[in-house]
Structure 1
């Protein structure tokens, strides 16, 4: 083993291997079990490395992992910004390099702390990872824990820790497996203490998962329900601009058929349907919305004195507007250009980029006596934003169900829709509410309060989907305390780094 690990190319090849395992194990490629071992090659690569060198090795792994996982960003840059392929490829590399800092800083941190204090990497690695995942800013957050979205018994801890807790668990598994293999390869012994601790931890996590799943099923069985119908017309963003009247007609026709056959309590259209409004209150002509005789929730552009908002409106069966929501978390280069207000000429360089105004309200909407939370597009992958929306606004009317209107057509036929849905599904666990997602081209889905995808459409298909949604009450530890595990990990990380630095200064003085 030493002959292999001592080769000068080994650390870099191991870093590439970890990066490949990272994106193959993530949502979309769905080989979730690979995430349990993806860090093992990198651990071997970091053995004996100085912190600065560890940073570079970790960065290589991060760049490879994020470039493979986010390959669909190329299509986004082409669609959103009208960028030619070479510039779109540069955009992917820059995004991968930025997101890869998480692994780079993680590698630096564990080498600094483990070498400086002599602490076992088993305990250091998950703490440092969780701290970095919490605080490193990313355009597209991609929590490691989301890779386990199909394993319901492992993910239920998210109602206590958020998705960060699942990320912590995945890195803990990696670190323990590395330590076991290292001890065996070097000393021909099995480190039973860390192995037993991992087994006990997994037993507790799975046991908690089973308990919470049973409790959720009991709550769902006794809850009121809302029958919701989703319309996925399979029309991408380009269609909205080229043939807007036809696209709107298709939504109306699909909705009429849905109402006639299923009699839903609410029909939902996705983000970006070609409807443009200049007011928030009043009555819309029912003919324009299909004369459905059923409440309708739909995406629209709202033109105000301040600017254009990416919005959603809820109307009753008579067309009366019950409420609206403006998207708050905008997509850079797609819905706005960073520093574009300061340097307006930037918009001339990216003619396909929109110039939306950021929303301000966090108030829920009322459908009869039911309180609903609404988010638009990739807002549902930001845990803290959804937590704010689920707080109930000024009057603390805690929503009973979450809705998300999305347009994922920008990313082509790729793994992005699966990744988006997997990340969003954790909002259901964190808040113990059903999540209703409707998209233009897929994947539209119903997610139950345990984060399980109950029903879903295909990608780039025209179809409708109906289900009865349980309306639940109450709050979780996560909805109350937020990312406490991220803050705790950051505190421990900072304390450990401070301790190492203080010790180093003392040695220099001596």
Structure 2
């Protein structure tokens, strides 16, 4: 059993290595295989041990998916340890270390919980379904249920506040062909593809007791190769479609990467440096003829409720140069603060505002605040607490409606899909990843690549310290900044009104898989019952 746990842990770590900084994305197509085999094999052993009246889900079984989940999520999310030390927030070194360990452990176990629930559900269902006399049919039923269940759990987990490590993002930013499957039914399309291929490979070695093993394994191998090739061909066809970009839809945008360290961001030295840097950057880009300038999340960390709150030098620059400014700052709603992006027009007026929907737990709000608030309130550098933005916001600009994501929003595809369905023509992504490791910055960029492909939109990314970038609707990075540098960049993007299947219908694939997963065993059961009679 110890060997099985080691195998589960190592295969989970291999899945974690598919993300930045290693980016070994091909491993995603095999890293789930050991867990699938272990879960199915344990099911067979458990069926033989029922006479011994053992507990239904012994701890040794639960450890298998738990170890795999810890390996995957712990490796992929190791960047969270970059929050230490938090001495700049007034948190002493040792408590900072303990808080960091707690955060990493909690989010790792939260992700591992998804894998554990999947394994329990996967095995439970097959305890209830009689095996068919045809091995291929058993394989396909297992495959369908395993895939549908994983996609359903990712949908459920992503509806909450803690979400980042979907299996789908293991392919970003490198496997652009397969990422285009996201245009069909969102990230769960890619997740389904990865789980299905892993499951089929795992099934190659299952069912050896059957007489026609050679024919069965050959059939399964053909199905594996056909599925993997077919998925990539479909994605490549979508990837190969030319981008139609009429000149009248062009929009010249500027990006300012301010590079303001978090250590000084919320004191007077940081404010002065931010005002000076963003004002000079804005003027420089405006002189290059840009239509608008995007500035990162909370780049000018002031409460923006009217023009009088705008820093005077920056406000004057906007009035003189006339380029629209999309500025990250704080809004105010009923004595609470919001992490917001504002459109400031040439007249100096605030034209529109978007409030961040997905706040970072502990960093921007305190879960169970009535119990934990006094203990960890120092994690927030603000006097007032941030509140969530509404998920149905629209963000109008003088150039048309935009899709906005502020930092952590990027992990939640439904926020972008909803805005695209409501007429968003291009993506504005503003973030501040300065307190994390470089691998997180790369993963964040990878998330926005997926959002650009799914919605078929150009994306403009402005971050505090990197990576800022320009992404086209095919997920190709047209420009990428360096890390920890002050940078200015001007580029032309194009407004688009097309709607992918995902934008129109949302994640329709997961309900379909669930329906098929429920119908096929039911039909098989009725047919078998009819034959028995």
Please give the TM-score of this superposition, normalised by the length of structure 1. Answer: 0.86
Q: Please say if 1:210 is aligned against 2:236.
A: yes
- Aligned partners of 2:66 and 2:391: how far apart in 1? 38
SS at match of 2:240: helix
Aligned to 1:384: 414
1:224 equivalenced with 2:245 (yes/no): no
1:33 and 2:33 are equivalent in the alignment? no
Matched, 1:333 2:362: yes
Judging changes above 3 Å, is the alpha-carbon distance between structure 1 residues 62 and 181 closer, same or farther for their aligned structure 2 residues? same
Q: Secondary structure at the match of 2:17?
A: helix
Contact 1:227 1:466 in 2 (8 A): yes
Contact 1:280/1:324 (CA < 8 Å) preserved in 2?
Answer: no
Give the superposition deviation at 1:493: 5.6
- Distance in 2 (alpha carbons) for counterparts of 1:147 and 1:490: 24
2:42 equivalent in structure 1: 48
Q: Per-residue displacement from partner, 1:218-265 (whole Å, max 9, x unpaired)?
A: 3236662111111112113222113211222112122323333x3211
Displacement of 1:375: 2.3
CA contact (8 A) 2:302 2:309 kept: no
Residue 18 of structure 2 contacts residue 171 of structure 2 at CA under 8 Å; is this kept in 1?
no
Alignment equivalent of 2:344, drawn from 315, 324, 331: 315
Q: Deviations over 1:329-356 (max 9, x none)?
A: 211111110132x45x714533132411
Q: Is 83-92 or 16-25 further displaced after alignment?
A: 83-92
1:209, distance to aligned residue in structure 2 (A): 2.5
**Structure 1 stretch displaced more, 91-100 or 192-201:** 192-201
Q: What is the root-mean-square deviation in Å for CA atoms of aligned residues? A: 3.0
Distance 1:81 1:153 in 2: 46
Deviation per residue, 1:471-492 (Å, 9 max, x gap): 1113221112112223334455
- After superposition, the Cα gap between the structure-2 partners of 1:122 and 1:360, relative to the gap in structure 1 and judged at 3 Å, is closer
Distance 1:282 1:211, change over 3 A: farther
What is the aligned partner in structure 2 of residue 401 from structure 1?
A: 426
Q: What is residue 51 of structure 2 aligned with on the other side?
A: none
Distance verdict in 2 for CA 1:48–1:369, change over 3 Å: closer
**SS at structure 1 position matched to 2:266:** helix
Change in CA separation of 1:179 and 1:305 when aligned onto 2, cut-off 3 Å: closer
Residues 1:309 and 1:163: Cα distance change in structure 2 (over 3 Å): same
Which one of 463, 467, 470 corresponds to residue 443 of structure 1? 467
Distance 1:435 1:81 in 2: 36
Contact 1:228 1:265 in 2 (8 A): yes
Counterpart contact for 1:59–1:101, Cα < 8 Å: yes
Give the one of 222, 240, 250 matched to 1:196: 222
CA distance 1:176–1:240, change in 2 (3 Å): same
47-56 or 441-450, which moves further after superposition? Answer: 47-56
Identify which of 161, 165, 177 aligns with 1:142.
165
Q: Distance in 2 between matches of 1:86 and 1:250?
A: 35
TM-superposition CA deviations, 1:72-95 (whole Å, max 9, x none):
223337547944213321321122
Q: Distance in 2 between matches of 1:74 and 1:171?
A: 29
Q: Which residue of 2 aligns with 1:303?
A: 332
Cα deviations across residues 37-56 of structure 1 (Å, max 9, x unaligned)? 11122233331344724332
- Shifted more, 36-45 versus 353-362: the winner is 353-362
TM-score normalized with structure 2 length = 0.83
In 2, Cα distance between equivalents of 1:461 and 1:222:
33
Deviation at 1:313, TM superposition (A): 0.9
* Counterpart in the other structure of 2:67: 60
Contact preservation (8 Å) 2:201, 2:224? no
Whole-Å Cα distance in 1 between the matches of residues 496 and 17 of structure 2?
A: 36
Which residue matches 1:358?
388
Of 292-301 and 179-188, more deviation after overlay is shown by: 179-188
Deviation string for 1:1-35 (max 9, x for gaps)? xxxxxxx3221111111111011112432100111
User: What's the counterpart of residue 443 of structure 2?
Assistant: 419
The one of 192, 195, 198 aligned to 1:174: 198
1:73 to 64, 75, 80: 80
Q: d(CA) in 1 for partners of 2:331 and 2:229? A: 51
Q: Which residue of structure 2 aligns with residue 367 of structure 1?
A: 397
After TM superposition, give the deviation of residue 366 of structure 1 in Å.
3.1
- Of stretches 80-89 and 378-387 in structure 1, the one that deviates more from structure 2 is 80-89
From the superposition, tell whether residues 129 and 86 of structure 1 become closer, same or farther in structure 2 (CA, over 3 Å).
same
Contact preservation (8 Å) 1:309, 1:357:
yes
DSSP 3-state at the match of 2:435: helix
- Mapped partners of 2:29, 2:461: distance in 1: 29
Residue aligned with 2:106, SS: helix
SS in 2 for 1:405: strand
Distance in 1 (CA, whole Å) between partners of 2:402 and 2:90 is: 34
Gaps of 5+ in 2: 47-55, 132-137
2:98 equivalent in structure 1: 86
